[in-house]
Amino acid sequence: MLKRILAVAALAALPALPASAETRVTLKSANAGSSYYMMTVQLAETLKEATGGEIEATVEESQGSVQNVKAAPRRGAGYVFTSPPSLVRQAQKAEKPFEGETGYDTIRTLFVMPSVTMHFVVRGDAGISKLEDLAGKTFVPGGRGTFTDRQSRAVFKLLGIEDKVKTREIELSGAVAAMRNNQIDGFATGSSHPTSHVTELASSMPIKLLSLTDAQVAAITGADPSVARVVIAKGTYPNQTEDVQTVAIPVGAYTTSATDEETAYKITKSFWQRKAEMSKKNPWWAGVAPSDIASIGIKLHPGAARYYAEAGIAIPDAMK
């Protein structure tokens, strides 16, 4: 009995083991199988490698940016998500679809993601060489209610063909299959470029990416300052022999003020220091530069601000 008491006393006298230094974060992006979901998976792996396991990231599938933003006030520390900055601004102003909701003023920027680039894709044998030629054609403008759908319809209205295009409302996966089966003449998709489903489609059948004119780009960006001109360089997709001018909307990676400064700093630093390495596996990262952070416009997290100050990256006063 005495031996047992002495053993228990000896164990009690041992110093306590240090708590685990691991920090768990949640990365929420898009539907599984989408390019943004693939980006998020790669980012989770990168964070773990870059921090030596100090940050352990869990990837969650999402139904889109609206869901990502709506969850922000409720998820607390370590919640990292993606969204166009325009949507975050709508939430902070309690505009549709965030009427009557609060808590969005805690959202803070970490870094910039590859932009959502508009692709107007048509069959190579459809006799379509410019956007105006979509009049009388069957076209899928994008998933209902998405940025792609809204932007496609805005372009059609601008060109005066809004009532002339035979639009069909089907999911993107169905649109790709419909193209292969000659059931539609084309579809629009908003994604980083290159995007895998367009690459695969271009490898299996003749397709064409439609380009916007300078005047069309000017009209679109003038009507919606949240979008910007983007060029999909020739050779981005199989058999693409010319540059394609289009528009895109910037996308940011955010957290909330509930996330501690050190964690936000490590996430931001890991992203930029490993971006070139990530680009070797997925080229869409190559189109992102630190100077692009100014396009987000949402206030920085103090941890991210510390990294940009150390790196000598200029930040607009409105984001500080």
Please report, to the nearest 10 degrees, the dihedral formed by the alpha carbons of residues 40, 46, 51, 56 taken in order.
40
Confidence class for position 197, pLDDT limits 50, 70, 90: confident
Distance CA 168, CA 143 (A): 10
Q: pLDDT, tens digit, for every residue of 243-286?
A: 999 999 899 999 999 999 999 999 999 999 999 999 998 888 98
Kind of pairing between the strands at 55-60 and 23-28 = parallel
167: three-class secondary structure by DSSP: strand
Distance CA 260, CA 78 (A): 8
Reply yes or no on whether the pLDDT at 33 is more than 80.
no
Reply yes or no on whether the pLDDT at 15 is more than 80.
no
- The answer to whether 213 and 256 are in contact (CB under 8 A) is no
Reply yes or no on whether the pLDDT at 21 is more than 60.
no
Tokens of 151: 């932007």
> Which of 5-9, 202-206, 228-232, 288-292 holds the top average pLDDT?
202-206
Phi/psi region, residue 16 (left: phi>0; alpha: psi -120 to 50; beta: rest), is beta
The reported pTM is 0.77
Fold assignment, 23-113+251-319: D-Maltodextrin-Binding Protein; domain 2 (3.40.190)
Distance CA 28, CA 253 (A): 10
Q: What is the mean pLDDT of the chain?
A: 89
Q: Which alpha helices (DSSP H) does the chain contain, by range? A: 2-13, 35-50, 65-75, 85-92, 147-159, 172-180, 196-204, 214-223, 261-281, 302-311
> Could you tell me the CA-to-CA distances from 4 to 11, 15, 132 in Å, in that order?
11, 20, 88
195: three-class secondary structure by DSSP: coil
Asked if the domains 23-113+251-319 and 116-249 are classified in one and the same CATH topology, the answer is yes
CATH 3.40.50.720 at 116-249, yes or no: no
* Range 36-65 average pLDDT: 92
Distance CA 122, CA 137 (A): 10
Q: What is the largest CA-CA distance in the chain?
A: 94
Domain boundaries, the chain: 23-113+251-319, 116-249
